[in-house]
Structure 1
């Protein structure tokens, strides 16, 4: 866990040009209009021990909360954003990316409009799918949240 490194990457993504096509990036995935960076990822928890998975989720939530503590003085305090409501909306309406994908992977995110960049930043723990690794994600996009 390296909060300074995570913050530096988020700052970089707020100014990095978006790619013309979907594809992997050095930090996760990129697409026209958004980046999804994997800040931390478990190894070997796909379908693994639920107790070990819960410990990892708790650790990543602490890092997410620490990032909130460092970013909120800069961009403002915000309540946790319940992604369950976004996920439910995907059943009856078109939710733009990266928000639809984030709601399928994570339950809660902290969200800011990164002042002066024209971009939105979300930090979340992706733990919805027990057959996938637990990941701490940073999403940077020009698409306003739904």
Structure 2
């Protein structure tokens, strides 16, 4: 899948019913009130000196921004919100709703829109769980207000 197919995946998730339980889906993960599509995944960085990782991270941010431009043509300019506060609050014991709780552990910020057609929130973010692990370009569709 590439940038020409990613908007169609997001459109599908904007109209698809949410799963009744948390788990894997055909495009990533989902649960009550949300879908997370894994649009693109890099290789890992176990043997990397850091240069390849930095280049890959930059490319994933470029891909996110390119897809974001396409979504902005449809829904207007995005908001960029940090998920650091949600992560800190969840670490302090506060109950943060999904998908924001799990995203905040590996996605520093998201570009965010709200679809006037469906009322759902659409977010794009670049994920990396740890410096040796792959990057992922994620698209999130949820009915849960961002924090």
TM-score normalised by structure 1 residue count: 0.91
Is residue 119 from structure 1 mapped to residue 120 from structure 2 by the alignment?
A: yes
Task: Please list the CA deviations of residues 29-57 of structure 1 after superposition, one character each: whole Å capped at 9, or x if unmatched.
Answer: 11111111100001233x44122111111
Matches within 5 A, 1:6-45: 6-45=6-45
2:54 counterpart residue number? 54
| Aligned residues of 2:106 and 2:127 also touching (Cα < 8 A) | yes
Q: Tell me the TM-score normalised to structure 2 length.
A: 0.90
Q: Distance in 1 between the 2:59 and 2:15 partners? A: 29
Task: Deviation per CA, 1:13-35: give whole Å up to 9, x if none.
Answer: 00011111221111111111111
- 1:130 match: 131
Aligned to 2:81: 81
Measured against aligned partners, the alpha-carbon deviations of 1:57-88 in whole angstroms (never above 9, x if no partner) come to 11010010011111112112133211222212
Gaps of 5+ in 2: none
**Runs of 5+ consecutive residues of structure 1 not aligned to the other structure:** none
Contact 1:57 1:127 in 2 (8 A): no
Q: Give the SS at the match of 1:104.
A: coil
